[in-house]
Amino acid sequence: MMELLETFIKTLTAINDDIRIWNPLIWVLAIIIALLVVYIIRGFGRRDYKEGTGQTQAFLSGNPEYEKEKMHVPGENVYWGFTHALKWVYDIFNKMHTGNVSDYVLWFVVIMGIFFLILGVI
């Protein structure tokens, strides 16, 4: 037990290419402390609320709430800004991933040709 503790402290303070502060046990400790802090802050909330009235409904800046299937953001639209801004990259990549086998073998022949030129000729 004591030697486990000794090796633990040694990995914390070693100088060259050991884990030091990135030791996972330290991180587990930090996460547990953070969760404890979250739990204590949650305990400061009020307990005297009434269910079913306007106090527990979702607030959507005054907009009406539709049915649940429409309220949930579907997977394709989550990162719309990112995919829209990089549309030119996605056009190139979608043309590459066509889905028929002949193109896959064509890429293989191209890469084999490049390898031949670099490793064989030079």
- Are 12 and 21 contacting, i.e. CB atoms less than 8 angstroms apart? yes
Does 14 engage in binding with other proteins (CB under 8 A)? no
Q: Does 42 bind other proteins (CB under 8 A)?
A: no
Map residue 38 onto helix, strand or coil: helix
- Applying CB under 8 A, does 107 fall inside the site for other proteins? yes
Helices of type H across 43-115: 68-71, 80-85, 87-96, 101-115
Residues that bind other proteins (CB under 8 A): 7, 11, 17, 19, 22, 24-25, 27-28, 31, 68-69, 71-76, 78-79, 82-83, 86, 89-90, 93-94, 96-112, 115-116, 118-120, 122
